[in-house]
Amino acid sequence: MERRQYLLKKIGWSLFTILFVLVLNFFLFRILPGDPARAGVKDPRLKKEAIEAIQVRFGLDKPVVNCFESLNPVKLGSCTVNPLETQFFIYVGNLLRGELGISYHTNRPVAAILAERLWNTILLIGAGQILSIIVGVILGIFAAWKARTAIDYGALLTSLLAWSLPTFWLGIILLFWGSANGLPIGGKATPGSSTLPPVQQWTDIFQHMLLPTLTYTIVYMGEYTLIMRSSLLDVLAEDYILTAKAKGLSTFQILKDHALKNAMLPLVTVIAINLGFTVAGALQIEAVFSWPGLGGAIYESVVRRDYPVLQGAFLLIAVAVILANLIADLTYSYLDPRVQSE
Partner 1 sequence: MQAIAESSKPKTQSTSPLLTFWRTFRRNPMALVGLTMLIIILLLAVFARQLAPYDVTSSANVSTADIYNPPGGAHLLGTDDAGKDVLSNFFFGARISLIVGFFAAFISVFIGGVIGIVAGFYGGRIENILMRFTDIMLVIPDLPLMVVIVALTKPSLINIIFVIGLLGWTTTARIVRSQTLAVKSRKFVLRARAIGAGNFHIILHHILPLVMPLLVVNAILVISLAILNESALSFIGLGDPTALSWGQMLNYAFGRGAMSAGAWWALVVPGLGIVWVVLALTLLGHGLEQVLNPRLEFHHLEPGRPVVQSEARQPVARAEDGRPILLEVQNLSVDYVTAGKPPARAVENVSFQLREGELMGLVGESGCGKTTLMLALLRLLPPAGQIVGGKVWFMGRDLTAMDETELQTVRWNGISIVFQGAMNAFNPVRTIGDQIFEAIQKHTPILPEDKIEDRVSELLELVGISAEHKAHFPHQYSGGMRQRAMIAMALACNPSVVIADEPTTALDVMIQAQILELLDSLRKKLGLSIIFVTHDLGVVAEMCDSVLVMYGGVTAEYASVDTIYNAPRHPYTQELLKAFPDLSKLDKRLASIPGYPPRLDQLPPGCRFAPRCPQALERCHTQPPALHRLEGTHVASCHLLDG
266-285: which residues touch partner 1 (CB under 8 A)? Answer: 273, 275-277, 279-280, 283-284
Residues 158-187 that bind partner 1 (CB under 8 A): 160-161, 163-169, 172-173, 175-176, 179
Residues contacting partner 1: total by CB under 8 A: 88
Comparing CB distances to partner 1, the nearer of 47 and 148 is 148
Question: What separation in angstroms does the CA of 280 have from each of 80, 167, 229, 243, 285?
Answer: 43, 9, 24, 43, 9
Phi, psi at 47, each rounded to 5° = -75, 160
CB 201 within 8 A of CB 109: no
Segment interacting with partner 1, rule: CB under 8 A, options 65-73, 112-120, 122-130, 294-302: 294-302
Q: How far is the CB of 72 from partner 1 (least distance, A)?
A: 26
CA distance 290 to 226: 30
CA distance 301 to 105: 8
Q: Using the rule CB under 8 A, is 257 a contact of partner 1? A: yes
Question: What separation in angstroms does the CA of 59 have from each of 53, 230, 330?
Answer: 10, 53, 40
Q: Using the rule CB under 8 A, is 338 a contact of partner 1? A: yes
CA distance 246 to 241: 9
Helical ranges in 146-197 per DSSP H: 150-164, 167-180
Comparing CB distances to partner 1, the nearer of 54 and 254 is 254
Comparing CB distances to partner 1, the nearer of 177 and 206 is 177
Comparing CB distances to partner 1, the nearer of 67 and 315 is 315
Count other C-beta atoms under 10 Å from residue 294's C-beta. Answer: 29
SS3 call for 102: strand
Please identify which residue in 209, 227, 268, 287 interacts with partner 1, judged by CB under 8 A.
287
Residues 221-240 that bind partner 1 (CB under 8 A): 233-234, 236-240
Residues 29-88 that bind partner 1 (CB under 8 A): 29, 32-35
Q: Using the rule CB under 8 A, is 313 a contact of partner 1? A: yes
Q: How far is the CB of 79 from partner 1 (least distance, A)?
A: 28
Q: How far is the CB of 66 from partner 1 (least distance, A)?
A: 24
Residues 2-31 that bind partner 1 (CB under 8 A): 13, 16-17, 20-21, 24-25, 28-29
Comparing CB distances to partner 1, the nearer of 100 and 288 is 288
Comparing CB distances to partner 1, the nearer of 36 and 109 is 36
- Find, among 175, 123, 156, 170, the residue nearest to 281 by Cα: 170
Comparing CB distances to partner 1, the nearer of 66 and 291 is 291
Q: Which residues of 78-99 are buried (b: 16+ CB within 10 A; e: fewer)?
A: eeeeeeeebbbeebbeebeeee
Please identify which residue in 253, 269, 290, 331 interacts with partner 1, judged by CB under 8 A.
253
CB 287 within 8 A of CB 299: yes
